[in-house]
């Protein structure tokens, strides 16, 4: 009888292992917004600080995602402008290593072979299908990087951006193409649910990139509301509202098709919010889009899916170039990742209530461009201005607004961090431009021939 029990137990274990091996890999959706500031949602990014949420914008579907998932309080875009960030997300490397540190660099050929998110997922499980809809703003066509469906090599112009004049507001039935690109995304999800094949879907919104465009009813609704003290622009609130409705449609179809038990949804932005017209737009963060201060780099970041604690927060630092490693890990293989990636998997933090660390090849978060460079490590942030050699050091936990330079008070720490930053820039040869960049410096007009 004991032998029979052992045989039955062994058979059950084998059956369980076989079932696990045959389990369908998860679906993964990345919703990437454009120029969305860290405090541009109705939820506080730091739960104990009311000033880390918007006092005017309404985002019920962002909140819906946060309520069923995790909010990251210290999340960063790979770069403070869009095209470098988008390259970094696709390849799991910093823009500096990819030699794409400006929007003009969008046309630079890759200096070395690199695999993108869809290619990595398909190497783990060839049944994955991938789609990209919305703003691409990259050198390669989506099909070259493993996307089975897309709306092509799109850019800001594709969204019918009519003006940058902030005194004019343009109502549309499909502002920023948020309706039509979401139509494509929903159709793709339905098709994949029918075929029962796992999928990766990236929905890259044109919103909230200026100019000011929103649905007529949305504009009217927010124009009638009382503005906040920090956020006052009703037309901006309307654009965020339209974006939020598009996010809600994705969540709705996942609920309808009962895909939530095997789907991970991530939402973040390509860089911080613009602050040129409104100096305090990103308050309490300093500066905004285009800057290496927190206002240009720190962004909203939400994740929901199986095993993620609903309504949870994490203060673990994460960055957009972690996404490739994270998706590979969620798909079942942390090992099958391209050589040379600089991101780490966030999965251990996601499945541990927001606690833990993200293990990367180098400790900390690294940022570099010809103007300046940054290292964020152990709660501190060091920024070096290359032209002058000026060093700034901030304690982000105590000084979120980056008002007090601690270089004189923490000289040893500043020197250690500066040495680490310099080691990294040398290791990745950050200051060496690509061949096309050298030609662009001699002939700037050459970079305008194939702008997306």
Contact 304, 65 (CB under 8 A): yes
Mean pLDDT of 184-210: 96
Contact 53, 228 (CB under 8 A): no
Is it true that domain 365-447 has CATH number 3.30.1120.10? yes
Query: Which stretches does DSSP call E strand in 23-177?
Result: 27-33, 70-72, 75-76, 129-134, 149-150, 170-171
Per-residue pLDDT of 11-50, as tens digits, reads 444 334 333 434 789 999 999 999 999 999 999 999 999 9
Instruction: In whole angstroms, give the CA distance from residue 293 to residue 80.
Output: 9
Per-residue pLDDT of 132-143, as tens digits, reads 999 999 988 999
Residues 35, 38, 43, 44, Cα dihedral to 10°: -170
What pTM, to 2 d.p., does this model score? 0.90
Q: Where in the chain is the domain with CATH 3.40.720.10?
A: 25-350
Peptide bond into 312 cis (omega under 30): no
Confidence check: pLDDT of 129 > 50 = yes
Strands lying side by side in the sheet with 391-395: 365-368, 372-377, 380-385, 391-395
Residue of 298, 300, 426, 405 lying closest to 362 (CA atoms): 426
Instruction: Assign 339 a pLDDT band (cuts: 50, 70, 90).
Output: confident
Ramachandran class of 160: left when φ > 0, alpha when ψ lies in -120 to 50, beta otherwise: left
Contact 386, 372 (CB under 8 A): yes
List b or e across 135-163, with b for residues whose CB sees 16 or more CB atoms inside 10 angstroms. Answer: bbbbbbebeebbbbbbbebbbbebbebee
Q: What are the residues facing 29 on neighbouring strands?
A: 201, 265
Instruction: Note the CATH architecture for domain 25-350.
Output: 3-Layer(aba) Sandwich (3.40)
Per-residue pLDDT of 260-309, as tens digits, reads 999 999 999 999 998 776 667 899 999 999 999 999 999 999 999 999 99
Percent of the chain with pLDDT over 70: 86
Residue 15 confidence (pLDDT): 38
Q: Where in the chain is the domain with CATH 3.30.1120.10?
A: 365-447
Residue of 114, 137, 184, 166 lying closest to 276 (CA atoms): 166
Lowest mean pLDDT across 119-128, 162-171, 364-373 = 162-171
């Amino acid at each position: 009888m004991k032998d029979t029990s052992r045989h039955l137990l062994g058979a059950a274990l084998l059956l369980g292992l076989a079932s696990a091996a045959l389990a369908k890999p998860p679906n993964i959706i990345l919703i990437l917004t454009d120029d969305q500031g860290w405090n541009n949602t109705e939820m506080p990014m730091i739960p104990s600080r009311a000033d880390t949420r918007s006092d005017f914008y309404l985002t019920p579907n962002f909140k819906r995602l946060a309520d069923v998932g995790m909010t990251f309080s210290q999340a960063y875009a790979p770069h403070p402008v869009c095209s470098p960030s988008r390259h970094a997300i696709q390849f799991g490397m910093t823009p500096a290593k990819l030699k794409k540190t400006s929007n003009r660099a969008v046309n630079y050929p890759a200096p070395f072979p690199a695999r993108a998110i869809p290619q990595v997922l398909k190497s783990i499980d060839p049944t994955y299908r991938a789609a990209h809809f919305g703003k691409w703003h990259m050198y390669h066509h989506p099909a070259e990087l493993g996307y089975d469906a897309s709306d092509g090599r799109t850019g800001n112009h594709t969204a019918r951006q009519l003006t940058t004049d902030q005194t004019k507001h343009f109502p549309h039935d499909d502002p920023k193409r948020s309706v039509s690109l979401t139509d494509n995304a929903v159709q793709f999800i339905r098709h994949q649910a029918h075929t029962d094949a796992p999928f990766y879907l990236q929905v890259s919104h044109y919103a909230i990139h200026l100019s000011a465009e929103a649905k007529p009813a949305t504009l009217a609704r927010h124009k009638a509301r009382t503005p906040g003290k920090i956020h006052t622009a009703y037309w901006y609130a309307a654009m965020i509202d339209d974006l939020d409705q598009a996010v809600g449609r994705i969540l709705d179809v996942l609920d309808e098709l009962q895909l939530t038990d095997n789907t991970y949804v991530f939402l973040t932005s390509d860089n911080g919010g613009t602050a040129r017209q409104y100096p305090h737009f990103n308050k309490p963060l300093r500066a905004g889009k285009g800057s290496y201060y927190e206002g240009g780099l720190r962004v909203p970041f939400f994740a929901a899916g199986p095993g993620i604690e609903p309504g949870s927060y994490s203060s673990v630092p994460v960055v957009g170039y972690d996404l490739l490693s994270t998706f590979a890990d969620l798909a079942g293989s942390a090992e099958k990742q391209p050589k040379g990636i600089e991101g780490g998997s966030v999965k251990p933090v996601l499945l541990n209530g927001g606690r833990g660390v993200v293990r990367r090849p180098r400790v900390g978060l690294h940022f570099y461009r010809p103007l300046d460079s940054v290292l964020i490590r152990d709660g501190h942030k060091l920024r070096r201005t290359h032209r002058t050699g000026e060093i700034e050091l901030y304690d982000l936990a105590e000084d979120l607004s980056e008002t007090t330079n601690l270089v004189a008070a923490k000289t040893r720490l500043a020197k250690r961090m500066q040495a680490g930053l310099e080691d990294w820039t040398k290791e990745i040869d950050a200051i060496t431009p690509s061949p096309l960049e050298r030609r662009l410096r001699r002939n700037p007009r050459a970079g305008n021939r194939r702008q997306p």
